[in-house]
Structure 1
Amino acid sequence: MTEQNTIRVPQQTRSIEKKKRLMDAAMAEFGAKGFHGTNAKGIAKGAGVSVGTFYAYFTDKKAILFEIINQHLIEIDQSIFKTLTRKMDEGATGREVIGHIVKLGHEAHHHSPELLRVMLSMQYIDEDFKEYAATEFNGTTTKLSKFLKTMSDRLRITDMEAAAQVVANAFEETMHSVATGQPHVEQDRLYNALIDMTSIYLFKDPDAPLSHPSQDN
């Protein structure tokens, strides 16, 4: 997947702003026209720059889409796991922690539902995206498995890796169905069911306060 790298790494404020305009314009174009209906000319026009400027930062439209996805996933990763650790330190219950994951996941998936549809469809028609999605999913389950291990004494499950994959799949499918407007049940009911299912599956007592291991002794 060599095409996902940018050509120029902006250093000055003006260049950074120009790259951001290109990425914002690309998000709008992908969301409105899909991957195949989007081209460098349209992205450049939306950003108010020349096509040559687009190619100074990105090799092609696939590269800029990868960059958008990367940035989005980094923001999600930093937000979710930091928030969960803080909530644990504050003594949130297992059910409340799962509720926070659902809340943050919902916000992340609704940042651009149209772009999410493009990302999901590309997994089925492009090998680079399929490989990328698999790598990202494996990275997420690895981090989730490590997070679960930090509170293993509170959990009823013992196979953290398997549990992480089951939970990640359940969250991904539910979040995607809500974000793309496909659920047959109302959003709140789906989310409440997801919270209940996950909490009962993971925790010995879903409604007992949690605390970070460093505070247990």
Structure 2
Amino acid sequence: MPPHADKQRKRPKQDRAKETRTRILTVSAHLFGSRGIGNTSTNRIAAEAGMSIGTLYRYFSDRDEIVKELTDSLFLQVEDRYSRLLTVAADKTPRDAVADVIRTAVEILVANGPLVRALVADLHFYGSGIPEFEPRLRMIIKLYLIHLLGPTKNVDIDIMALVVLNAGFATALRSVEMEDEGLDRDVVIDNTADMIGAWIASVTEPV
């Protein structure tokens, strides 16, 4: 049984310790993607990473903590990329800005495809972290829309952020498997951006 007394492990400072921690996360992401989260034990992760289970527990107290770390890493990638988008949002049309939001999410999710599929597939029976991911992402999109649109009236920016998230993020999640289904990812992104951009233009009116 894993030790739970020290739930929050200290982050390693030495290069060797950092490399070990990174190896655990890399192996975990691969195994989660190929076997599913629920079917991947910490013993299996340790074995695949070439270390003892005791060594793994020096860095992560259990599988939940590994999943949370991987999910947080996905969010930080999104946050970093969207922060860069904010610097040019004001120069974009709503349609092009939405396309940038979706395309950025797609690039990140496709790059982490196996892990994303595992997180979504195990959502209903395992604490995959996706429910915590959604409100954090919605807040970023809300800030992005405020920056993009400026002062507006008769617009509920919270609802707009939720709509953009639901349509855009759903497209991003589905994009992980679009090419396997014979769909053109860029066409789907452009069509989604066209629809959301047209809707934003129709409901926004400058003050």
1:183 Cα deviation from its structure 2 partner? 6.1
Q: Distance in 2 between matches of 1:192 and 1:157?
A: 27
1:125 counterpart = 2:125:
yes
Q: Deviations over 1:90-140 (max 9, x none)?
A: x333332222212211111112222111111222113x44xx433321222
Q: Distance in 2 between matches of 1:155 and 1:183?
A: 40
**Which amino acid letter does the alignment assign opposite residue 43 of structure 2?**
K
**Which amino acid letter does the alignment assign opposite residue 92 of structure 1?**
K
Unaligned runs of 5+ in 2: none
The TM-score normalised by the length of structure 2 is 0.83
Q: Which moved more, 1:37-46 or 1:194-203?
A: 37-46
Residue equivalent to 1:27: 29
Q: Does structure 2 retain, via aligned residues, the 8 Å contact 1:27–1:115?
A: yes
Distance 1:156 1:194, change over 3 A: farther
Residue equivalent to 2:102: 102
Residue equivalent to 1:197: 195
Q: Does structure 1 retain, via aligned residues, the 8 Å contact 2:36–2:122?
A: no
1:187 counterpart = 2:185:
yes
Q: Which moved more, 1:176-185 or 1:13-22?
A: 176-185
**Which amino acid letter does the alignment assign opposite residue 87 of structure 2?**
R
Residue equivalent to 2:73: 71
**Which amino acid letter does the alignment assign opposite residue 44 of structure 2?**
G
Unaligned runs of 5+ in 1: 207-217
1:164 counterpart = 2:161:
yes
Distance 1:96 1:169, change over 3 A: same
1:62 Cα deviation from its structure 2 partner? 2.1
Q: Distance in 2 between matches of 1:175 and 1:41?
A: 33
> Which residue of 42, 53, 62 maps to 2:55?
53
Q: Distance in 1 between matches of 2:169 and 2:187?
A: 16
Q: Deviations over 1:57-116 (max 9, x none)?
A: 111222211111111211211112x22222236x33333222221221111111222211
Q: Which moved more, 1:61-70 or 1:39-48?
A: 39-48
Q: Distance in 2 between matches of 1:195 and 1:87?
A: 17
Distance 1:155 1:105, change over 3 A: farther
1:148 Cα deviation from its structure 2 partner? 1.7
1:50 Cα deviation from its structure 2 partner? 1.7
Taking only aligned residues, the RMSD between alpha carbons, in angstroms, comes to 2.6
Identity %: 20
1:189 Cα deviation from its structure 2 partner? 2.3
1:176 counterpart = 2:178:
no
Q: Does structure 2 retain, via aligned residues, the 8 Å contact 1:155–1:203?
A: no
Residue equivalent to 1:93: 93
Q: Distance in 2 between matches of 1:20 and 1:96?
A: 36
Number of residue pairs the alignment of both structures matches: 198
Q: Does structure 1 retain, via aligned residues, the 8 Å contact 2:109–2:176?
A: yes
1:160 Cα deviation from its structure 2 partner? 0.2
